[in-house]
Structure 1
């Protein structure tokens, strides 16, 4: 009788498994790890996996991350020269910090068959000759109002061409008529009010976001904001997403990210209007939020990652992404007639805002890496000291200006629009 030993039996068994796997396709490749700071709310993350990425046809593990862990992990893998992250999705400023570790995606745009926004594609080069990221989606911050508020607009005011002085007057009139403040701002722990200061107030009053942080124009700005805060609902200190107090009727007029107004516009479309942000003495400052996709040089499968990047640019994928996240396409698409009310309302306001004759776009912070949190906190701390604690404006700006300058020096970050862009480290005058 023919016998085989234990080692031979193992070899035969292994060969058998491999042959069976090859014939049946039972074994599955590891999913491509998609590391992203976009679509972080639980429901959005779920829909991103089930509705957007499912159409790719190959396994993708989408993991939404907070900015801190996001930057730490990417930096660690780049330094180690190897990693498990296959593809990255992040804001322009988040990706800029790691540009030297990304592969060139110049060929991806052509493979997608999509007509990508030229200005955003240029941003994706990050000052190099290579396509360090391909634009993925875009959003911004706009104003929303309950239609009940419109009767209290200042005489002669144009909703699509407001000034901050008119917004303050509007708020005062609403408060006097209703007995309580009706303007709301997301100043809670999960709110984005720091973006309001960085990309809206500072550019609108000073034409700058960093260089003129403690200028006379900035002093005027903070004085005006104190007047606006006096007409703001006290609950703003707890608000994270303004769609909730808007739907509850606690707030009638609010500034917020388009994605964080989505529920209010979709659930109560007949109750609200959307319109551009106000203008200040230096223009109508606003912050376009550009999210891009990069492939790290340490990606376990760069070819597969490039294929996914091209898939994310397809018009049909972009439309699905819009439905899921409220972020708008970066490619030329014709939107279906059945798009949600939030798209119709926000879309018109976004277009009017970006095309305004006095528009002054401001990029998200660039080149700060894991110091982004400290930078944002510097603006939040300035707000708390001047507005909530009533400290002297000039003294606070002098001290906080030093904080901002130290962050820029540590990061060795150049200035970003609307401040003049140079290769030197940005500074505070």
Structure 2
């Protein structure tokens, strides 16, 4: 068995639905037929993902635990309102770093001692540093990670430009590949991107394209290098399947053969190669002038202040962070371990393909770590809209790049000014995040 490299991981911004009914205007919530300690999470919200995780949890939980999912915005408000009123109804919570970091200190229990008791399980130092959220104490336990990569069918690999290594692409070579594939396919594009209503294309611009071209995400938003990045994306889009504006999960058009190359989250790609893994490859994302930009989205387990069952919450964290449990999470839901875990060779072939691409992406000498926006809370959707509107104006509507970036930079800065929050990686950790 080989060990997964865990120096810097990326994690899915999992979406979805669970068995939770929010009670409008109230500080609490009602579960639908659940009992035991409530485990509230922003992760695994799609019904099938939630059910797979509930089955895993039922097999390892040291007590009665009810897994309840919720969207990111209501998640923060639920925790705050419960703790503020002294009526905490949850025992354990899970979310991405960006979900948990704003709650540190006032709303989460210090888990420094718990991490010490759990012993050295091989958490990467970067993850443990994130869990401290700029303080000298830990506010969550790193739990799981995933990534975004490229998927390509062997039909598309035939059109790689001479001398190009698919596992070490530059953005220039990626574009040349898309052009060559389109021309060889009767001028029908073979590349697709997730630009549908629920697609994650904004993560591509936030964590991959802009960091690779500019070295930043926010502070360089309107830089000359950002103009070059958007010029590039406009040209790449000209070689994408026009139906990309309808694609939410790229595994679906990949499976039907509508496209043969795609970038997306690993969980949204994995079904494509499941039935025919020998004819698929998973590849690291391309690199640009500033390196191989990629987004690390780390999920953690935290205990709200006033937890309904502190002992059960700590024991549940213990079992969920054991290497064998983390391998089962990889097997069932495609999330990679956050601890040093031996990954068995008998994993599903599609998962193994993704694991190799993730490893190559993380271990690249010029890798540039990015985070999703941190500290935005319920306003994250407004920042997402800035990136979506920028794409729509520049790429779809062919608006002037410079004036569009200037306009959207003003919107972005207005949000940041109101929130008064620091920047997140790869931007410098200034006290106030400002668009240059």
TM-score, normalised to structure 1, is 0.90
Counterparts of 2:175 and 2:244 in 1: how far apart (Å)?
16
2:98 to 93, 97, 101: 93
Moved more, 378-387 or 62-71: 62-71
SS in 1 for 2:88: coil
* CA-CA distance at 1:367 after TM superposition: 1.2
Q: Extract unaligned runs of 5+ from structure 1.
A: 1-28
For 2:53, which of 44, 48, 51 is the aligned residue?
A: 48
- 1:65 pairs, out of 67, 70, 90, with 70
After TM superposition, list the pairs within 5 Å mapping 1:4-19 onto structure 2: none
Q: What secondary structure does 1:160 align onto?
A: coil
Match of 1:26? none
Paired residues for 1:12-27 under 5 Å: none
- Cα distance change on mapping 1:198 and 1:419 into 2, 3 Å: same
Q: Check if 1:137 corresponds to 2:144.
A: yes
CA–CA distance in structure 2, aligned partners of residues 362 and 158 of structure 1: 24
3-state SS in 2 of match to 1:231: coil
**Counterparts of 1:316-355 in structure 2 under 5 Å?**
316-355=324-363
Aligned equivalent of 1:275:
283
Aligned counterpart in structure 2 of residue 154 of structure 1, from 143, 161, 180: 161
| Residue of structure 2 equivalent to 1:415 | 423
Aligned to 2:37: 32
Equivalent position of 2:9 in the other structure = none
| Structure 2 counterpart of 1:6 | none
Q: Secondary structure at the match of 1:152?
A: coil
User: 2:223, 2:359 → 1: CA distance?
Assistant: 31
Runs of 4+ in 1 over 6 A off after TM superposition: none
Q: Which residue of the other structure, out of 241, 244, 260, is the alignment partner of 1:236?
A: 244
Matched length? 400
Structure with greater proportional helix content:
1
Match runs of 1:202-213 below 5 Å: 202-213=210-221
Counterpart in 2 of 1:216? Answer: 224
In 2, the alpha carbon distance for the partners of 1:249 and 1:306 equals 46
Q: SS where residue 97 of structure 1 aligns?
A: helix
Question: Partner residue of 1:102?
Answer: 108
> Contact 2:37/2:91 (CA < 8 Å) preserved in 1?
yes
What is the match of residue 269 of structure 2?
Answer: 261
Cα distance, 1:111 vs structure 2: 4.0
Q: Alpha-carbon deviations, 1:210-255, whole Å to 9, x = none?
A: 0010111111110110000000111111111111111111111111
- Residue 30 of structure 1 deviates from its aligned partner by 4.7
1:395 aligns with 2:403: yes
SS in 1 for 2:158: helix
Superposed CA RMSD: 1.4
TM-score using structure 2 length: 0.89
Alignment of 1:187 onto 2:191 = no
Q: Is the 8 A contact 1:124 1:135 kept in 2?
A: yes
